[in-house]
Structure 1
Amino acid sequence: MLLTAALAAQAAAVPVAAPCQPGAYSGPEGRFLVIMERPDTAQTGAWRWWADDGRFGLTNDGSVACRGDTLDVKTVTYNRIPVRLTPTKFKSGDLTLNGMLIEPPATAGAKPSLVVTVHGSERTPAVKYAQYPWILAAQGISAFVYDKRGTGESQGSYNQNFHALAADAAAASKEAKRLAAGRYSRFGLLGGSQGGWVAPRGANDAGADFVAVGFGLLIDPLEEDASQVATELTEAGYGADVLKQAREVTDATGNLMAEHFLKGYEQLAAVKARHGKAPWFARIKGEFTGEILALDEATLRREGRAKFDNLELDWRYDAMGWMRKVKAPQLWVIAAEDREAPPQTTVDRLQTLRREGQEIAIVRFPATDHGMVEFTQAPDGARTTTRVTDGYFRLLGDWIKGRTTPPYGRGEFLTK
């Protein structure tokens, strides 16, 4: 009994972290923090936080102390921003999708911009876990967030059909404008990663006044895989001759994907026979090529489509064709060392569109990878993310508001 009492007293003496209230918090001189729940928060007691300068972490690392409606970061106090939340259910075709409008406090004589955030390829419920709507709200922008079809409280099956997802974004836009009627100035879409394919595709149907894209691609999904393979081999020290041979390989695996594993096996067998014993061949990963090369023909015929081609993806999606139809001004933010979305072809094509007369701002952040993250790199090439690059969040906010005031960290506005 005495032992039990002693243990109870010892447990009572251990400090317990206060629960964090998800949302946006304002600090001095325009600084802000965003706190979001994680899927494992109930088990770990850790909330995710993001700062205006791109730093991020977990609340259980001691960097942020939650105290009701305030946060303490060292000696700085942040106060929770009293946003207006409007949950909703809305229709997209035959599906009912789950969404929420987040509106910052009203400012006398001004109406905020309104943005629909278009997701990437993630499967997590955006209404509960996405940080970008709150990062925008912290900067005085109204944001509408919705669970992607087949995730969270939205109906349907998860897929990566850009045309269907663009229709969902247009339906979300209609709902966002209905809910915020009379309380916003201009309206647009923000898409990250795969959202860089979806947002331009849906822009005209959504009635967008602007489109912003972060770390997106202006190539089709087959080109993305080929670009990743080329980047991997270049970083490994291989030259143009090997890259040309590797392109034969990615053409074969890409054709197999585009033909939905119904044909293309002879082409794949030929490149395996021609290059399979080369030292560089075993280094190939890409988006899918490495995995396809690891399987024999019988397995690919039996399991290939279920394993690699089960998300209704348009493998030869005409990204440039749809971009040429976009009427609204656009911002494209590029991660200069993006391994998942190698950027050079995208930048070249954006410049082509600008020469054709489209209004596109291009900002490139050096030494950043997918997600606009900075990183450290080990001798074997493995990267460890350290933070979102400083200036990225503020660039998005200012451009969406209709004004930019550089500098934005190390971001470089490309003029040609």
Structure 2
Amino acid sequence: MRTTTGLFVLVSVLAALQPAAAAEQRSSLPWSAPATTQIIVEDRKFRSGDAELSGTLYMPLSGKPVAAVVVTHSASSPLRGASLYDHLKTVLPALGIAVFAYDRRGSGQSGTKDAGGNFTILADDAIAAAKSLKTDPRIDPRRIGTWGLSQGGWISPLAASRSPDIAFVIAVSAPVVTADVQMIFSSTNHLKANGYSKADIDQMVAARKAVDNYMRGTVSRAEAQAKLDGIKTKPWFKYLYMGETFRDREVSGWRKEIENDPLKNLEAVTVPILVLYGTDDAVVPVADSAERLKSVAPRMPKMQVHVIAGADHAMQMSADLKTSLDPKHDGTERPDSPEYFALLSSWLAAQGLVGR
């Protein structure tokens, strides 16, 4: 068993680091052998509430029903074709696991109306995707789980807490703090990485807190807008990921986000869950998140938590801090940490999900 699992891990790491185009080019060479893993790629649609969503299934050719993973989205990668998800489409089928990636509602081919910051809607979309896979005889309906990174790491546990159709959860770089705390941490590191002063950081934090407190009903809209107006011309404003104004708190998606405590969602998960962080994550407060998870670990025997040396928010080791925090690179991330691939593969094997 150890030898087989180790082989799977090695195959996964090597496969994930090879660009798909290069692999396709090599397979056309006259001396090439056929690949051991044959992948069937199928576009398919499914309904979630009043929305029709569109995705792509990556199905390993197998003589028996296989496990499957539904991909939930990071905030900056709403499309199924995002580079962030490419490694899953290579690694998991090599392990005998299907992957279903879809366009988040309001993006790509999944309509024009988004979830408005409502994580419950996004979680229910993932549940609907899992239910649609259960009708496919090539997929084992008892072994369908979710994978999500960053915001997706919030959505995946929430989906599992709301439905028995989710059999396991993989949450990567998921902040176990509320969204307002996470964004202040992230924006502070963005400004630090780009050499801005403590005074700039203090001004940024004050503006963010004013908007957040307006959403909580403790600060007037005029006061919060004035704080925002005071920084909107700053060269570092883009690192806040905020607009120059904000919606009324009664309809604001941001209010919905900051009122959601991810720890409560995690505590409600009863299926096996793998939580992965990188030591060099400047977007998520890993130390605080790990500490909060430690507090609930005795009540969650099926949860495993690992902090991966040298990995950033997207499980990359190759990107320097300033590059990884540059907004122009959002949506272009490609995980490349060997430890991440090894832990992901070995955990899936330990759960009995690997099979060919």
TM-score tier (shorter): 0.7 to 0.9
Aligned to 1:15: none
Contact preservation (8 Å) 1:256, 1:265: no
Distance 2:237 2:208 in 1: 10
Whether the aligned pair in 1 keeps the contact of 2:73 and 2:148 (CA below 8 Å) is yes
Question: Which has the larger share of helix?
Answer: 2
AA paired with 2:174?
Answer: G
Q: 1:205 aligns with which of 162, 166, 173?
A: 162
SS in 2 for 1:97: strand
Q: Deviations over 1:347-396 (max 9, x none)?
A: 11111120334532111112221210013548xx5559896111322322
- Which residue identity lines up with residue 332 of structure 1 in the other structure? V
For residues 176 and 215 of structure 2, the distance between their equivalents in structure 1, rounded to whole angstroms, comes to 19
Say if 2:220 is the partner of 1:220.
no
Aligned counterpart, 2:118: 161
Q: Secondary structure at the match of 2:317?
A: strand
Specify the SS of the correspondent of 1:391: helix
Q: Report SS of the residue matched to 1:266.
A: helix
Cα distance change on mapping 1:92 and 1:377 into 2, 3 Å: closer
Q: 1:402 corresponds to which letter in structure 2?
A: A
Q: Superposed, which structure 2 residues align to 1:114-129 within 5 Å?
A: 114-122=68-76, 124-126=78-80
Tell me the distance in 1 between the aligned counterparts of 2:43 and 2:167: 24
Match of 1:305 in 2: 247
1:112 and 2:66 are equivalent in the alignment: yes
1:162–1:198 contact (8 Å) kept in structure 2: yes
TM-score with structure 2 setting the length: 0.74
Residue 128 of structure 2 aligns to which amino acid in structure 1? A
| Number of the residue aligned with 2:107 | 151
The structure in which a higher percent of residues are strand is 1
1:16-415 alignment, distance < 5 Å: 32=11, 52=14, 55=17, 59=21, 64=22, 66-67=24-25, 69-70=27-28, 79=35, 81-106=37-62, 111-122=65-76, 124-126=78-80, 130-131=85-86, 132-159=88-115, 160-180=117-137, 183=140, 186-207=143-164, 208-232=166-190, 248-256=206-214, 263-266=220-223, 287-288=240-241, 300=245, 304-305=246-247, 314-375=257-318, 377=320, 381-382=322-323, 388-403=336-351
List gaps (5 residues or longer) in structure 1.
1-28, 34-50, 405-416
SS at match of 1:374: coil
Query: Cα distance, 1:199 vs. partner?
Result: 0.8
TM-score, length of structure 1 as denominator length? 0.64
**Number of equivalenced pairs:** 328
Alpha-carbon deviation of 1:271?
10
Q: Report the aligned-residue RMSD.
A: 4.1
For 1:383 and 1:359, how far apart are their aligned partners in 2? Answer: 32
Opposite residue 341 of structure 2, the aligned amino acid is: F
Aligned mates of 1:128, 1:179 — CA distance in 2: 25
Residues 112 and 185 of structure 1 are in contact (CA less than 8 Å); yes or no, is this contact kept in structure 2? no
Report the alpha carbon displacement of residue 123 of structure 1 after superposing the two structures with TM.
5.2
SS in 2 for 1:226: helix
1:377 and 1:105, CA in 2 relative to 1: closer, same or farther beyond 3 A? closer
| Percent of pairs with identical residues | 22
